[in-house]
Copies of this chain bind each other. A is one copy, B any other.
């Protein structure tokens, strides 16, 4: 079965995966950019790169929430918004955006096509699995989307990068999950100089 995996989800020491007050200028919220510095750092170690690569290689499709796709709310309007990533987004495969607002698929340069799924998380996963052609499906953010899939017990692996910063407030990952992670445990703990990588899977 094609796996659904979360890769490189950066989380602050105090448990936030995004800072407060998200906006167009500040998509990760106040202070949230600190969570991803390790990905772009010239000091990234071999361990960091291995995890970054795992989020690209062997991935055939991506699912994300509308919040990760963009700040637009309500109907899509003039269709100007095509994501945060420019004309050639770094996915190079089909990306399924969860939304309540229907919209035609948006093909981009480099092989990425954004599909807009209004039927919910399970149909989105079915379509992503079909599109992945035997490769894994990557589950992007934001926190609410990851939580929805976790609660539905549809996630196979969760890779967190614990970043030693404090955000004070924002979006928490481990909130309102009940006991859904009761059967999960750490299968790999691989700290680098900047972050602590943790891979979690069902026992």
Q: Indicate whether A14 reaches chain B with its CB closer than 8 angstroms.
A: yes
B164 A186 Cβ-Cβ under 8 A: yes
A166 B200 Cβ-Cβ under 8 A: yes
Interface mask (A151-180 → B, CB under 8 Å = 1, otherwise 0): 000000000101011101100001001010
- Of the candidates B174, B179, B185, B196, the one whose C-beta lies within 8 Å of that of A162 is B196
B189 A164 Cβ-Cβ under 8 A: yes
| Chain A: interface size category | 20 to 34
A194 B200 Cβ-Cβ under 8 A: no
B186 A165 Cβ-Cβ under 8 A: yes
- Of the candidates B15, B182, B185, the one whose C-beta lies within 8 Å of that of A174 is B15
Q: Indicate whether A193 reaches chain B with its CB closer than 8 angstroms.
A: yes
By beta carbon, the residue of chain B nearest A16 is: B174
Given contacts A13-B160, A14-B15, contact A166 B189 (CB under 8 A): no
Residues of B close to A164: CB separation below 8 A: 186, 189, 196, 198
Bound state CA distance, A169 and B179, in angstroms? Answer: 8
Q: Indicate whether A108 reaches chain B with its CB closer than 8 angstroms.
A: no
Q: Indicate whether A181 reaches chain B with its CB closer than 8 angstroms.
A: yes
Q: Indicate whether A83 reaches chain B with its CB closer than 8 angstroms.
A: no
